[in-house]
Amino acid sequence: MKILVINPNTTTSMTDKIASAARAVARPDTEIVAASSQDGPASIQGFLDVATCVPGLLKEVVQHRDVDAIVIACFDDTGLDALRTLVSVPVLGIGEAAYHAASMIANKFSVITTLSRSVPGLENNLMRYGLAQKCGRVRATEIPVLKLEEGDPATLDKIRSEIRVAIEQDNAEAIVLGCAGMADLMAHLSEEFGLPVIDGVAAGITFAEALVNNKLRTSKIGAYSYS
Amino acid sequence: MKILVINPNTTTSMTDKIASAARAVARPDTEIVAASSQDGPASIQGFLDVATCVPGLLKEVVQHRDVDAIVIACFDDTGLDALRTLVSVPVLGIGEAAYHAASMIANKFSVITTLSRSVPGLENNLMRYGLAQKCGRVRATEIPVLKLEEGDPATLDKIRSEIRVAIEQDNAEAIVLGCAGMADLMAHLSEEFGLPVIDGVAAGITFAEALVNNKLRTSKIGAYSYS
Amino acid sequence: MKILVINPNTTTSMTDKIASAARAVARPDTEIVAASSQDGPASIQGFLDVATCVPGLLKEVVQHRDVDAIVIACFDDTGLDALRTLVSVPVLGIGEAAYHAASMIANKFSVITTLSRSVPGLENNLMRYGLAQKCGRVRATEIPVLKLEEGDPATLDKIRSEIRVAIEQDNAEAIVLGCAGMADLMAHLSEEFGLPVIDGVAAGITFAEALVNNKLRTSKIGAYSYS
Amino acid sequence: MKILVINPNTTTSMTDKIASAARAVARPDTEIVAASSQDGPASIQGFLDVATCVPGLLKEVVQHRDVDAIVIACFDDTGLDALRTLVSVPVLGIGEAAYHAASMIANKFSVITTLSRSVPGLENNLMRYGLAQKCGRVRATEIPVLKLEEGDPATLDKIRSEIRVAIEQDNAEAIVLGCAGMADLMAHLSEEFGLPVIDGVAAGITFAEALVNNKLRTSKIGAYSYS
Amino acid sequence: MKILVINPNTTTSMTDKIASAARAVARPDTEIVAASSQDGPASIQGFLDVATCVPGLLKEVVQHRDVDAIVIACFDDTGLDALRTLVSVPVLGIGEAAYHAASMIANKFSVITTLSRSVPGLENNLMRYGLAQKCGRVRATEIPVLKLEEGDPATLDKIRSEIRVAIEQDNAEAIVLGCAGMADLMAHLSEEFGLPVIDGVAAGITFAEALVNNKLRTSKIGAYSYS
Amino acid sequence: MKILVINPNTTTSMTDKIASAARAVARPDTEIVAASSQDGPASIQGFLDVATCVPGLLKEVVQHRDVDAIVIACFDDTGLDALRTLVSVPVLGIGEAAYHAASMIANKFSVITTLSRSVPGLENNLMRYGLAQKCGRVRATEIPVLKLEEGDPATLDKIRSEIRVAIEQDNAEAIVLGCAGMADLMAHLSEEFGLPVIDGVAAGITFAEALVNNKLRTSKIGAYSYS
């Protein structure tokens, strides 16, 4: 099967990282097509970026009509409803996928994301998916998305410190890393803290494979009908 | 990988049907181990059966300790919390798996199950998982679980009729078939009604594969800790 | 004061209707600036239209930077969060304004909108604003937005019939007309059915005046901060 | 138009302050009629005061039957449902009005009120209006209502300190001042903390003007019917 | 022990009926003191009656300060919070008591009450107590409270018919009779319909006995503190 | 009347303590039959114990079929739904009974229990009963159940310290002691902290007496029907 993983921002170094996280977890016979939006913000932080990246995202997606499933590689799940209306294959956001995965292996999870201004959008998504009650708290590190690309050790320390607080104060039993750019940190942090650390890209790809194997497609009755 | 799919009732013809639904959707390199409880009710309908089947379920599971994931093939997700406390591999109930799958491809779904007395247990599960808000209604056909085994055409008509009502009255965009014994009906009904019809066994197996590929295991901090 | 009322679709006959509804209710010293998006769908029905109309909406808004408040004249409240992030003056969606108004004069209200496919978006908005619990039901007439422009008597009959059902089945004490194109029907229906019928354009304009008179502006801390 | 702003306690110095806050924000052609209850507690703090002030409130209101709208100038919104049943003009509580205003300009707000014993009543109101989910926390300063009248600088310091905590701990993006006696502090605190500070009296008057301009009146079907 | 059962309306024939229902269920060593408000509405139907009956209720209660517990014999639980603030003995409303009792013996219950205009008040109470989720629906018979006193057979038929609908449509497993005046119907209807039918007066008296035997009194920290 | 109080664990010293707490509060003419499960865990802590103790609990209960009500003396309310399906007399869990009692005498309560791993089960129960919104927080002392038997003064100090935090941080107005083994501490702590401290055994016995006096039995329609 062929899965399109689409980065709705225009930073291709992030797309490369996402593609590599996707391929690391995909089945041998799954082809990962990684694409970036050609037109939109360099990173997606807050409601304005979320709204303005969608047309570029949709334009890029229609270039890849022969795929079996689509994963939106932005933790805000930008354009999720619009894409589900546009196509009939399954569409998953990486935030959505990570929350579902966390709900399957832990009683309560917390989310560690980038900036405070991104928190309300994630909280809204959690409420809408119904999974807010499984989430202890959405925590911001105040590290901008693109800063994560630089590999500064101080960056990792801030993430570690928020994980520690989430375990102590939120009774978090699992951690969702709330940014596509954090994908490569998963294994290390999971071992260090002795609890599951979930990356949305990996969760999104494997759940997309699952839906395709179930022959399940986006419903075309009601909310996502073509017209 | 090896996935244990465990039928918590003692009706082996149901176990065979479940095993076959599981193998139909599993990846070629996934080994499905299907087992029945040796000790418990012949079918699980209502709170008393749900409670009494758990020890037999746990006893059977510990015979299969080398598996990579466990799927509980009862739509009530009997023993889910207990099993997650007992083991460290991922554990999924087929009800739970089906609700998560439905939430990924439709804005709203309804559940069609067997007897009225099973409805409150499913409603409680949905509330606990957070997915009650995605569910239009849990509908009973009043067909006992074991009656489904007999292949009576009148049985299928009752299911069809409830699906029709769910679409019209609940605005259901997808249907979850709420019994392990309904697995073989999925494809026909999906085509007939032009909307996704979800079988929990298939959803459970493929999501278990996904979690294993993510290297995610049940959290051993908090609710599911060993001691 | 000057209020921008912006139609996020490109149908200028609707913009004219909206402008006239706005002016009918505005204070004598309030200047209404009515604008249409130059780039986007002809009407907004369902999630795809909602997403694709936002960039055109934002582009048009920045042409009118000297206004004291902005009202988004689409019942889906398209681009509400994005606009609040872009500007510091108060921004109101007409759906949002109508739900708040209804909550102030009735214990329970129902919404009558155009197509079924628009219902889930409105339900999501109501949940997010917290006002879902005051809403009996969002009801669709299956009349397309642009059909409303034609003034067909059969159209009005369908709306009447849904109002009747809302009173009987939902115990609705007020009706929210869920489309900008329905603004001119308000007074007639209110008198006919003996209950408040609320038009979002009127509610939006008057609430915008209220916020400006309060010297209240969109908070620039947190969710809607500039950066 | 003529708006009655009614102070349900018998402290006329508070009524004067309320009247002045009301006139400061009202339109030039709005006549503000300020009245105090003749019979009831000197201040309203806790459930017993809330209940006992209502008959005096109703008795005073019926002296002013020619008004176009009524604003109840007590942050507990005492007698709101009873008044809506008694009259057909719009009736707003200042707590209610402030919460709606805050919801229109911020993603999350916190309330700063007087005594701890008043907090549960405000939390109940927020839950009932549906707006509890927009509210971070209702915070008490432990300053009695009448103490606010004295203009002690220590009083203002306590309010300031709670606002600071609300921003840091609740992620509050706007502050609702939860007592009619705090109305004159609004502008200063808003500037000092760089976020909207909302006074219920001002919000109540301007929203009442808005409802009257919409020709909206309290629904007389259902909850608020005369008989 | 001595329990005050207080009828907040002035219809003494209802007080007699209430007293008799209370004594029928009280323990032999429990003294029932039945009192009527001396000042207030003849029956309590809708928000205006609820508010205006409270001062008379409080005035009557302070005549009976040596009691061990108080039961408010109005299904709207009028004055419940005020009374809890006034006294330190346990205070129960008969609506509240009936909902708690129903929650202990059934998974879901429906309420049958008098007029439609009383429904929203009961729904608010249920939401506030947290028990709305156990309640299928609050149903009105449109029989005025005082009409119940007349013993008309048509009256009983309307109640029967609503019980039937509650079982079929709400999946009600128990029925709460939502008016003090319905107390004598309990046993007959329970037998006729084969499900528990709960009278709030009986539930209130026996729960008050239980709280007194537990030596539990109204908390005087927080919401119900004296000052 | 005769009430069976059943300890679902096999530690008979706890059963003795429970029996004595039950008899201390029961009416003179109530016969308390205290029984222990013959087969199951020595204490119930976490989901695995909760599930495995149920069959032993059911087996013991059927030895006592002539009782008028059953109280399950485990704070997790283990086997509550199963027992309600098995019998027709009223069945109460001591957790459930304590939460209902707390809701009747306080606006908000907190729960003090044994180990962290028991907290999620109690939170689920509170959510299911609808009473989560009345509960500030479920707090763990990290004292194992059987340790409570030893009467170590350090144990009591930990409980005291959590009560103090619950009052300060949760605004708790009443405390529920979340373990059957804590029953004898109730009176002392209540006096020391000046607020109601609730023991589930006492609440369960007295509410069971109340339901029996009401002639109320478990509904046999729907969730708890025999078949």
**How far apart are the C-alpha atoms of E89 and C116, rounded to whole Å?**
54
Instruction: Read off the pLDDT of residues B7-23 as tens digits, 9 standing for 90 and up.
Output: 999 999 999 999 999 99
pLDDT surpassing 80 at residue D108 = yes
Nearest-by-CA chain A residue for B127: A130
Chains in contact with B, counting 3 or more C-beta pairs less than 8 Å apart as contact: A, C, E, F
- The confidence score (pLDDT) of residue F181 equals 65
E51 contact residues in D (CB cutoff 8 A): 51, 54-55, 58, 79, 81-82
Q: Please tell me if residue A227 touches chain B, with a CB cutoff of 8 Å.
A: no
The answer to whether the CB of C52 falls within 8 A of the CB of C40 is: yes
Chain D: residue nearest C195 by CA?
D219
Please give the Cα distance from B72 to B83 (Å, whole number).
9
A144–C contact, CB cutoff 8 A: no
Query: How far off is chain B from E106, nearest CA to CA, in Å?
Result: 11
Residue in chain A nearest F124 by alpha carbon: A107
- Mean pLDDT taken over chain D: 93
In contact, A178 and A95? CB cutoff 8 Å: yes
Quickly count: other Cβ atoms within 10 Å of residue B59's Cβ.
13
Q: What is the pLDDT of residue B159?
A: 92
Q: Which residues of chain B have pLDDT under 50?
A: none
Answer yes or no: do C108 and E116 touch at CB < 8 A.
no
Q: Could you tell me how far CA A187 lies from the centroid of its own chain?
A: 17
Mutate to test the interface with F, among B39, B43, B76, B81 (most CBs of F within 10 A): B81
Comparing alpha-carbon positions, the chain D residue that sits nearest to A140 is: D171
Report the distance separating Cα B33 and Cα B23, nearest Å. Answer: 9
pLDDT tens for each residue of D65-74: 899 999 999 9
As a whole number, mean pLDDT of residues D46-59 equals 92
CA distance F90 to chain E (A): 6
Q: What is the pLDDT of residues A41-78, one digit of tens each?
A: 888 888 999 999 999 999 999 999 899 999 999 999 99
**Cβ atoms B112, B88 nearer than 8 A:** no
Nearest to E47 among D52, D55, D223 (CB): D223
Asked if C100 and D105 come within 8 Å (Cβ–Cβ), the reply is: no
* Complete DSSP assignment for C101-129: HHHHH-S-EEEEES-GGGHHHHHHHHHHH
Query: Per the CB < 8 Å rule, is A55 touching C58?
Result: no
pLDDT surpasses 90 at F106: yes
Starting at the earlier edge strand, list the strands of the sheet with C197-199: C135-140, C109-113, C174-178, C197-199
Question: pLDDT at position A181, please?
Answer: 65
Could you tell me the pLDDT band of residue A152, with boundaries at 50, 70 and 90? confident
Q: For residue A38, give how far its alpha carbon lies from the nearest alpha carbon of chain B (Å).
A: 27
At residue E115, what are phi and psi to the nearest 5 degrees? -100, 150
Mean pLDDT rounded to a whole number for chain A: 93
E25 contacts in chain F (CB < 8 Å):
213-214
Q: pLDDT-derived band of residue F169, with 50, 70 and 90 as boundaries?
A: very high
Determine the pLDDT at residue D202. Answer: 95
Cβ atoms of A14 and A75 within 8 Å: the answer is no
Report yes or no on chains B and D touching (3+ CB pairs under 8 A). Answer: no
CA distances from F137 to B188, F162, F174 (A): 48, 11, 12
Of F51, F79, F124, the CB nearest to B128: F124
**Cβ–Cβ of F108/D120 closer than 8 Å?**
yes
Residues 150-189 of E with CB under 8 A from F: 167, 171, 173-174, 187
- In the block, tokens 């593609």 appear at A19
Would you give the DSSP letter of residue E80?
H
Query: What pLDDT is stored for residue E181 in this prediction?
Result: 65
DSSP code for F214: T
Question: Beta strand pairing status for C2-7 and C69-72?
Answer: parallel
Relative orientation angle of helices D186-193 and D153-170, to the nearest 10 degrees = 50
**Buried b or exposed e, range F166-190, using 16+ CB within 10 angstroms:** bbeebbbbbbbbbbbbbbbbbeebb
DSSP secondary structure code for residue E226 in this structure: -
Query: What pLDDT shows up at residue F184?
Result: 72
Whether residue F182 is predicted with pLDDT greater than 90 in this model: the reply is no
Q: Which residue ranges of chain C lie beneath pLDDT 70?
A: 149, 151, 180-181
- Domains for chain C: give ranges and CATH numbers: 2-93+203-222 (3.40.50.12500), 95-200 (3.40.50.12500)
**Range in A8-22, E70-84, F179-193 the model is least confident about:** F179-193
| Residue F185 predicted with pLDDT over 70 | yes
pLDDT digit string, tens, across residues B124-171? 999 999 999 999 999 999 888 777 767 678 888 999 999 999 999 999
Whether C108 and chain D come into contact, CB under 8 Å, resolves to yes
CB contact under 8 A, D52 and E54: yes
Cβ pairs bridging E and F (under 8 Å):
148
Query: What residue in E sits closest to F195 (Cα-Cα)?
Result: E219
User: What is the Cα E185 distance to its own chain's centre?
Assistant: 14
Residues of E in contact with F195 (CB under 8 A): 219-221
Among candidates F51, F82, F121 on the partner chain, residue whose Cβ is nearest the Cβ of B79: F51
pLDDT greater than 70 at residue D167: yes
A120 to chain D, any CB pair closer than 8 A? The answer is yes
Q: Please, which residues bridge with residue F7 across strands?
A: F36
Flag whether pLDDT at D149 surpasses 70.
no
Task: Name the 3-class secondary structure at B128.
Answer: helix
Answer whether D219 sits within 8 Å of C173, measured CB to CB: yes
Chain D: residue nearest C103 by CA?
D129
Give which of A132, A98, A102, A104 is closest to A21, Cα–Cα.
A98
D139: nearest CA in chain F?
A: F171
Query: Would you tell me how many other CB atoms lie within 10 Å of the CB of residue D153?
Result: 6
Tell me if chain B has a CB within 8 Å of the CB of E23: no
**Nearest CA distance, E215 vs chain F (angstrom):** 9
Contacts of A20 (CB under 8 A, 6+ apart): none
Cβ(F24)–Cβ(F51) below 8 Å: no
Does the beta carbon of C107 lie under 8 angstroms from any beta carbon of chain E?
A: yes
Looking at the partner chain, which of B132, B203, B214 has a beta carbon nearest the beta carbon of A101?
A: B214
Whether the predicted pLDDT of A180 surpasses 90: no
Residues E178, E182: Cα–Cα separation, whole Å: 7
How confident is the model at residue F149, as a pLDDT? 67
Which residues in F lie closer than 8 A to residue B54 (C-beta atoms)?
51-52, 54
Show which subunits contact C, needing at least 3 CB pairs below 8 angstroms: A, B, D, E
Residues 32-91 of chain D whose Cβ lies under 8 A from any Cβ of chain C:
90
For chain F, what is the mean pLDDT?
Answer: 93
Shortest distance between the Cα of B174 and any Cα of chain E, in A, equals 23
What DSSP designation does C60 have?
H
Query: What pLDDT is attached to residue A149?
Result: 67
For residues E115 and D156, give the distance between their C-alpha atoms in angstroms, rounded to a whole number.
49
pLDDT at B42: 87
**Chain B residues with CB inside 8 Å of A189's CB?**
none
Q: What is the pLDDT of residue F80?
A: 97
What are the chain C neighbours of E120 within 8 Å (beta carbons)?
A: 107-108
Contact call for residues F5 and F73 (beta carbons, < 8 A): yes
Closest Cα in chain B, distance from residue C141 (Å): 14
Six-digit token pair at F168? 């300060």
Q: Spell out which residues of chain A touch residue B195, defining contact as CB-CB under 8 Å.
A: 219-221
Sheet (strand A135-140) strand order: A135-140, A109-113, A174-177, A197-199
Q: Stretch D151-162: mean pLDDT, rounded? A: 86
Confidence of residue D181 (pLDDT cuts 50, 70, 90): low
Q: Do B210 and A215 touch (CB under 8 A)?
A: no
Q: What is the pLDDT of residue C145?
A: 72
- CB-based contacts of F102: which residues, under 8 Å, 6+ apart? F109, F134, F174, F176, F196, F198
Least confident of E146-150, F41-45, F127-131, F220-224: E146-150
At residue A13, φ and ψ (nearest 5 deg) are -65, -35
- In this prediction, what percent of chain D has a pLDDT beyond 70? 97
N residues, chain F: 227
Q: CA of E55, closest CA in chain D: separation in Å?
A: 6
Tokens representing F44 are 């119930």
CA of C139 to nearest chain D CA: how many angstroms apart? 19
Residue E193: Cβ within 10 Å count:
18
More confident residue, A170 or E181: A170
Closest-CA distance, E45 to chain D, in angstroms, reads 8
Cβ of B197 under 8 Å from any chain A Cβ? no
| pLDDT surpasses 90 at F168 | yes
Does residue E116 surpass a pLDDT of 70?
yes
Q: What is the average pLDDT across F64-91?
A: 96
Average pLDDT, chain C: 93
- What is the average per-residue pLDDT within D137-149? 84
Which one of F134, F187, F221 has the shortest CB-CB distance to E130?
F134
Task: Compute the count of residue pairs across chains D and F with CB atoms less than 8 Å apart.
Answer: 4
